[in-house]
Chain A
Amino acid sequence: MIDQRVFKFPGVKPAAAIMAVLTVIQAIMIILQAQYLSVAIVHLWKQQPIGTIVAPLAVFAVAFLGRHLLTILKDWLLYPFVEKTTKTLRKQFMAKLFDLGPSVVAEKGTGNVVTMGLEGIDKIQTYLMMIIGKVLDLSITPWLILIYIAMIQWKEALFLLAIYPLIIFFMIILGLAAQAKADKQYAGYQRLSNHFVDTLRGLPTLKQLGLNETYADNVYHVSEDYRKKTMATLTIAMTSTFALDFFTTLSIAIIAVFLGFGLMNSTIQLLPALVILTLAPDYFAPIRNFANDYHATLNGKNALTAVLDVLQRDTPSDRELLPDRDPVWQADDALKFDHVNVGYSADDTTLQDISFDVHGFQKVGIIGASGSGKSTLINTLGGFLSPQTGEINVRGTQVPHLDQKAWQRSFVYIPQAPYLFHASLRDNLAFYSPDADDDAVNAAAAKAGLTDWIATLPDGLNTSIGEGARGVSGGQAQRIALARAFLDDSRRILLFDEPTAHLDIETEVELKQTMLPVFDHHLVFFATHRLHWMNEMDYILVMDHGKIVEQGTPAELQQRDGAYVRLRSEMEGATVK
């Protein structure tokens, strides 16, 4: 009923203990409230003067106020704990994201991670706020009321006790039936509910095919189909609420009739009868509240599971094995991979048996078809992925992975679409060295060939760019990433992951002119399937199906007439005569 994990949060136990005491007091208030309202009514029933009800009504009023003030007090006491817990969760979540790096985002999906951090934690807040109070209510209030009723009239109490498991039993049975039915329909259901967005997204295609107008009816019919299926499931799902409602309401009616007979036969007096009747709805209230919020509870539980799953992941340890030095990478340093295997999960190996040896400011080209493992290798080089087995040796230091603080200070990573932050152009350029002054930023921008473009921007370097702000073309995004490398001279390694794949040939030619000078005095890893870059490389790794099938200098590979030559001729295709 209550998640054991809730009790693991610091501060939950004292909060829950105080809540429990308050719940007991509140139950007493509920009983007092019923008792004294009944007393007042019985006075009137006996046709006593109106003055006789002043005292009981006053007690009723106090108990009533007390009961609802206690509700606030309970929330008031619980809230700081809940707020602190959700705040901590959010901060821990962010810190964990940073420590885990992009691989967790790649695995979960950007949207998913953002939702988890935003709405997911909101749901946890609602869940924590609700679950502790509700569970305490459910485990204290009905039983105190029941004991009180039993002291008055044990038969009615017995009936109320007997009906309780019956209610729960029926709720579970019907709930399970609904769940089974929902599960069975889930796939089709999901498709129908996504159909609308699917159609809207495909509208340009529908228009190209001339189907845009006739498709409106299709939208309507699918939606109607969805309605019928939903209703079929809802009919069952709501039966479980119906059962709860039915048993509780009917129980009250039956109690009333019982009491009526008792009164006729004089086995009970009006006052106790009235007290029991007034208390009966409060006896059932906690379980009804609990059932009504069942779905919010379930959402909160799932969100908690998802967030805890991320928080409980192991962060790479040994991140400081590589000694720091400035600059981290120099002309006589060497990097060695020895039989390295890499995978995205334990039971899959994307890269197998990777061995190579590079040193100083070599230019290393990585070439291969889509899916051959080029990006995975770049990600391993960046430390975003940790090898499963094998040895990596940097500057003579043996490391289990490249997620080394010193190593990550040594390179610039330039993917196909470099990410531009929602910030000013200046902040984007100086992202790796936020303390750089304007002159340095301008100089770096000039080297990256951005000066003319910056001149056209309304606020120059202070113009806001990134998602939702000013659009930046693919070529310019590459230049901004390059400028980052120019700006931070201590980063002497460049990791390129298909930087020009989306660019048209003329833009690529221009960009190449800017890029080549950066290659000097840098160790370059360049994954691409644009062949002309290979001419600028002095060492080439040819990849196929997660393995390095050939490596060497371009001249050696050309001479060997193996995988490299085959790949090149396949990529070149037919020729103009």
Chain B
Amino acid sequence: MKGFFATFKHDHWVMPYLRRYRKLLALVLFLGFMTYFCGAALMFNSGYLISRAATHPYNILMIYVPIVLARAFGIGRPAFRYAERLTSHNWVLRIVSDFRKRLYQAVEKQAVAIRQTHQTGDVLSILAEDIDHIENLYLRTVFPLVIGWLLYLFVVIGIGYFSWPFGLLMLLLLGVIVILMPLLSVAINGRREFQARQVQRQFYTQLTDAVLGLGDWLISGRRHDFLAQQDAPIDEIASLRRADHHFQWWRNFAIQVVFGAAVIFLVWWAGVMFTHNQAEANWVAAFGLALFPTVEPFSEMSQGVSEWPVYRNSIQRVNALDENEPVKVAQTEIGALEELKLDHVHFTYAGAQRQVIDDLSLTLHPGEKLALLGPSGTGKSTLLKLMLGDERPSSGSVTLNGEPIARLQDQRAQLFGVLDQQPYLFNTTVMNNVRLGNLKATDDEVRAAIKAVELDDLIASLPEGYNTEVQEAGSRFSGGERQRLSLARILLQDAPIIILDEPTVSLDPITEQHLLDTVFSVLHDKTIIWVTHHLAGINHVDQVRFIEGGHFDMQGTPDELYRDNARFRSLYDLDRGR
């Protein structure tokens, strides 16, 4: 329970929405309450109806009201339930829209940081799932719990109206079901949940490992080891599930026992209370039957609450998201690009020892084309981050027309176009994807860009042409085609500096050659910084630099290097298969 309050102490993801949409929330709770009220009232009324009828009233009108009420409650219960379910789902989905926007904004502000610290895909899917969890928290835990309590209060007050000591007894007895049992469920499940999560994670890791490394397992011939490895977690999972089931069975049984006791007490009490004359005695059956329909909502409460530990993790995770704006320096704007300059730049990642960039200087003028090479981990990607302003140099400066890059972040998309290893295509049409480069572009401009990257024939051959869906992550297209579509996007974006971050790494040499030819011909008037892992197409640039240990150790034009530098020459020949 302490955990419960601790979770909500600094919560700003769950509670605010309960407040913001409180009218709809009240409606949901009212409808939910009415559903079960009608259920109980139907049995109450029916019990009275037949008791009254059994006294042979001289006129049908004497039981006319209970007859009408029986139908009203009979229709009321399903109708309220239907309305409740629709309203609650609508309410929750409305909140989900708010959540998504907010989560997006939080992630967007931290986009760079998240990319560095996590495997992007994983963390994003987890966050998206968290939202689904919070959706279920409302539907499966919060609503049933509050509706159950309302019903509980109603029953206790209703009985207390006739006799407060007996009302008190019911308060305690039913309290076991609606308060004690849920608390017990959370306490016991919370303990087991920690264990379960560990076993699950272990099994998940092992299973993924086994599946991904299946080829190696097969070759190793270690079938016995392979199977033995999975046995332990399989047994552990089974015994955890067993414990879970046993707890649930006995808990549900305990709920029923308490409930049965409540029914017996109620009948007994009615027998003492309402037997002074026949008119009073007619109410006995009403009280005797009315409690039965409430057992369903009451026992649902414990079940809903047992899921709490899952939701708690999600709530904590979204609450832990940093939604603060990163500190931003005052922004300014520059006109046409004159010069990109790195001046004695040093860089060390926060908290790290090793200096990644060590006294690097570089000047680029409009239209110049530079290729950067070097083994992984030598600072190529850090250098790109510094140029884009995602990181700031520890000392030295990165400037455009003399303005520090940090002061130009608002203008960034107008200054830089980026084509990286895996450009993302959104799950929408070709037209919409390319238009993301410039939302104001006309259809003709988009088509012209696609023609420039030589995809017009391919797109035209598709059944729906430019309106063809690219499918999830662009899976309809090959790697080279995806790069071309992104290139079209960059053409529309029309920024003066283009950063190519190993765009051909997963392509075969022929596709690579063709793509590079296209890239350098359509971007001939741009300033290009091209990070590449080998020397194919190196003749497209007018400067080559090798980074090693954070500084440049070989530089020159491709022709000069080939002529004067033995190492470059051997690498180049090797790359060309000699």
Report which A residues bind B (CB closer than 8 A).
37, 40-41, 44-47, 50, 53, 57, 60-61, 64-65, 68-69, 71-72, 75-76, 79, 83, 86-87, 90-91, 94-95, 97-98, 101-102, 105, 110, 113-114, 117-118, 125, 129, 191, 194-213, 215-217, 219-220, 223-224, 226-227, 230-231, 234-235, 238-239, 241-242, 245-246, 249-250, 252-254, 256-257, 259-264, 266, 269-270, 273-274, 277-278, 281, 369-370, 382-384, 405, 408-409, 411-413, 415, 419, 421-423, 431-432, 434, 466-468, 473-475, 501-509, 529-532, 534-535, 568, 570-577
Contact = CB atoms under 8 A, between A and B. Distances in A.
Closest 7 CB pairs of A and B: A210-B413, A531-B577, A253-B74, A256-B46, A504-B533, A245-B78, A263-B53
Contacts of B270: 44
Contact of A260 (B53, B222, B242): B53
Given A200-B124, A227-B93, A41 B285 contact: yes
Interface in B268-310: 268, 270-272, 274-275, 277-278, 281-282, 284-285, 288-289, 292-293
Contacts of A215: 104, 108
A507 B376 contact: yes
Interface string B456-467: 000000000000
A531 B536 CA distance: 12
Contacts of A411: 219
Nearest to A271: B54
Interface in B63-92: 63, 66-67, 70-71, 73-75, 77-79, 81-82, 85-86, 89-90
Contacts of B96: 223, 227
A220 B100 contact: yes
Interface stretch (B16-24, B177-185, B445-453, B500-508): B500-508
B1 interface: no
B401 interface: no
Contact of B253 (A72, A201, A263): A72
Contacts of B204: 114, 118
19 contacts: A79-B245, A83-B242, A195-B427, A197-B125, A197-B128, A205-B423, A210-B413, A210-B493, A211-B439, A213-B108, A220-B100, A231-B90, A249-B42, A250-B75, A408-B221, A467-B212, A473-B376, A504-B374, A505-B535
A264 B96 CA distance: 55
B260 A102 contact: no
A209 B436 CA distance: 7
Given A408-B221, A509-B571, A474 B376 contact: yes
Contacts of B513: 570-571, 573-574
Contacts of B211: 97, 105, 110, 113-114, 117
Nearest to A205: B424
Contacts of A83: 238, 241-242
B111 interface: yes
B93 A230 contact: yes
Contacts of A231: 86, 89-90, 93
A274 B282 CA distance: 12
A97 B211 CA distance: 8
Contacts of A475: 375-376
A198 B281 contact: no
A210 B412 contact: yes
A249 B576 contact: no
B63 A264 contact: yes
Interface string B238-260: 10011001000110110011001
A506 B375 contact: yes
A252 B234 contact: no
Contacts, number: 435
Contacts of B416: 208
Nearest to B418: A208
Contact of A47 (B208, B281, B377, B576): B281
Contact of A68 (B253, B281, B292): B253
Contacts of A207: 108, 111
Given A47-B281, A72-B250, A422-B205, 8 more contacts: A37-B263, A101-B218, A198-B426, A220-B97, A230-B93, A408-B221, A467-B208, A529-B509
B6 interface: no
Nearest to B390: A207
A273 B253 contact: no
A505 B42 contact: no
A75 B472 contact: no
B187 interface: no
Which of A76, A204, A216, A253 has most B Cβ within 10 Å?
A: A253
A235 B210 CA distance: 44
B71 A234 contact: no
B572 A273 contact: no
Given A71-B253, A223-B101, A234-B89, A413 B219 contact: yes
A37 B53 contact: no
B215 A382 contact: yes
A474 B213 CA distance: 16
Given A200-B104, A238-B82, A260-B49, A57 B264 contact: yes
A249 B71 CA distance: 9
B50 A102 contact: no
Contacts of B493: 209-210
B427 A47 contact: no
A94 B374 contact: no
A431 B298 CA distance: 55
Contact of A570 (B127, B245, B257, B510): B510
Interface size on B, as a range, is 35 or more
Interface string B173-210: 00000000000000000000000000010011111111
A576 B562 contact: yes
A531 B576 contact: yes
Contacts of A568: 577
Contacts of B57: 264
Interface stretch (B144-152, B225-233, B326-334, B362-370): B225-233
Contacts of A61: 260, 264
Contacts of A421: 209, 213, 216
Given A216-B104, A253-B70, A434 B225 contact: yes
Given A505-B571, A507-B375, A263 B54 contact: yes
Nearest to A58: B264
Contacts of B108: 203, 206-207, 212-213, 215-216
Nearest to A370: B508
Contacts of B222: 434
B157 interface: no
Nearest to A231: B90
A504 B423 contact: no
Interface in B555-578: 558-559, 562, 571-572, 574-578
Nearest to A243: B78
Nearest to B377: A473
B267 interface: yes
Contacts of A212: 108, 111
B386 to A, nearest CB: 16
A413 B71 CA distance: 75
A263 B55 CA distance: 8
Nearest to A374: B508
Interface in B499-542: 505-511, 513, 533-539
Contact of A576 (B45, B100, B511, B538): B538
A273 B54 contact: yes
Nearest to A68: B256
Contacts of B101: 216-217, 219-220, 223
Interface string B426-458: 110000000011010000000000000000000
A219 B124 CA distance: 15
A37 B424 contact: no
B209 to A, nearest CB: 5
A234 B50 CA distance: 38
B260 A50 contact: no
Contacts of A91: 227, 230-231, 234
A253 B42 contact: yes
A424 to B, nearest CB: 13
